[in-house]
Amino acid sequence: MRLGYLLNTYPMTSTTFIRREIRALERRGLSVVRLAVRPDRQGLVDAEDAAERARTEFVLGGSRARLVLSALARLARRPRRAVEALRLALACARRSEAGALLHLVYLIEAAHVARRAQALGLTHLHAHFGTNAATVAMLARVLGGPPYSVTVHGPEEFDRPVALALREKIARAAFVAAVSSFGRAQLWRWAAPGDWGKVQIVPCGIEPSAFATPAPPPPGPVRLLCIGRLAEQKGQLVLIEALARARAARPELTLTLAGDGPMRGALEAAIAARGLGAAVAITGWVDEARVRAELAAHHALVLPSFAEGLPVVLMEAMAAARPVIATWVAGIPELVRPGSDGWLVPAGDAAALAAAMLELAAAPPARLAAMGAAARARALARHDIDAAAERLAALFAGAVSPGG
């Protein structure tokens, strides 16, 4: 089997879990070709991601004119398939805010991907996220490309299921992977009941060897860590408010925000307005080694998200034997057990978040250590990347078999 992984932008600092998945599949003997529409324009901070970029073929990596001419030539050679794909692209465009022009671009990209899949001998395409790349994979299939599948993470796909033509993508896919039971249920809402069996749970994973010897919690006052893109849905503005409340009772509490994004300016303003400049640090994007170092240097992870899929960083923190404070959204309650390995609070509730932070700060070290150990055992049991790759490999094999 020769597999093509099709992404919109890859590699990216926020998608290292895809790199881990690909490499786990390769350890199982699968040949994986990386195809991406475009590279990350923001630059990469991790040397492993830089190496991955060198392994990736980009649809928009060469002359745009040559791409268009090549795609038009393929469309002309298969006029009946071209007409069917055009109709599908325009049907998707009518439901989407992206419009017809962008869907015609997807059609050109799909013709290129179908041609490259044939040249590379790909037997299956797999897209991550049910957005642009999944549209290209679906159109490439209509144009004679290989069968395709999609991993849907959320929350974006669940926010715009009609605009993203999720029902159509599921119907035409060999299978769809959801990263949690919650995600599968959301996909069932939009799939035809006859297609429910196509939706399989395949969780994202972590490398257990990267967390083989978790560091003990650091000495001193409680230090909290939040890792992720600085964006509205991640809820960091509520976290700043909660920290200000909690520090009224525990002024020694500190917070590190590891990440970057469009909300950085607003967060810096909120930190300054609340006089938290000495208590909150923003690191910018960090690589995988720095993520592990930050987890070792802090007592717990806090994720105040309004919407999620099932965050990989949550798995990483738990594997590092750190208890977590997270919100009761999406797939998070499937992993975090309140009272055992962390706290769950309502999304957007700064008072509840502050109360959880104070409870963590007041907990005896022995309790935090026990919660960290429970968190580690649960993350390793549920999210080993090699187990996830084994599940995916079986689904790929079924998709390309005669009866698949």
The string of pLDDT tens digits covering residues 85-99 is: 999 999 999 999 989
Question: In terms of domains, do 46 and 64 share one?
Answer: yes
Percent of the chain clearing pLDDT 70 (strictly above): 99
User: Omega into 208 within 30° of 0, i.e. cis?
Assistant: no
Residues 221 and 161 occupy one common structural domain:
no
Q: Per-residue pLDDT for 402 more than 70?
A: no
pLDDT at 32: 98
The reported pTM is 0.94
Question: What is the pLDDT at residue 43?
Answer: 76
> In which band, very low, low, confident or very high, does the pLDDT at 401 lie, cut at 50, 70 and 90?
low
Question: How sure is the predictor about 13, in pLDDT bands with cuts at 50, 70 and 90?
Answer: confident
Q: Do 124 and 399 contact (CB within 8 A), yes or no?
A: yes
In this structure, what is the dihedral angle of CA atoms 36, 41, 42, 46, given to the nearest 10 degrees? 40
Written as six digits, the tokens of 136 are: 């290209």
Does one domain contain both 290 and 309? yes
The model's pLDDT over 295-341, given as tens digits with 9 standing for 90+, comes to 999 999 999 999 999 999 999 999 999 999 999 999 999 999 999 99
Q: Which pLDDT value is given to residue 29?
A: 97
Check whether residue 213 and residue 339 sit in a common domain. Answer: yes
Contact (CB, 8 A) for 235 and 304: yes
Largest CA distance in the chain: 72
- Give residue 333's domain range: 208-382
Q: How far apart are the first and last CA of the chain?
A: 14
> Is the same domain home to 259 and 279?
yes
Q: One-letter amino acid identity for 356?
A: A
CA angle 314, 317, 323 (to 5 degrees): 95
pLDDT digits (tens, 9 = 90+) for 26-42: 999 999 999 999 998 77
Backbone dihedral angles phi then psi of residue 73, each to the nearest 5 degrees? -65, -40
Query: Which CATH number fits the domain that encloses residue 235?
Result: 3.40.50.2000
Are residues 228 and 344 part of one domain? yes
Tokens 């609340």 correspond to: 274
- Give the number of domains in the chain: 2
Q: CA 399 to CA 123: how far, in whole Å?
A: 9
Question: Tell me, what's the pLDDT at 61?
Answer: 86
- Cα 318–Cα 152–Cα 319 angle in degrees, nearest 5: 10
Q: What is the pLDDT of residue 404?
A: 46
Tens-digit pLDDT profile for residues 184-219:
999 999 999 999 999 999 999 999 999 999 999 999
Whether 239 has a pLDDT exceeding 50, the answer reads: yes
Q: Mean pLDDT, the chain, as a whole number?
A: 96
pLDDT of residue 53: 94
Instruction: Give the model confidence (pLDDT) of 109-135 as tens digits.
Output: 999 999 999 999 999 999 999 999 999
**Backbone φ and ψ of 174, nearest 5°:** -70, -40
Same domain, 161 and 229: no
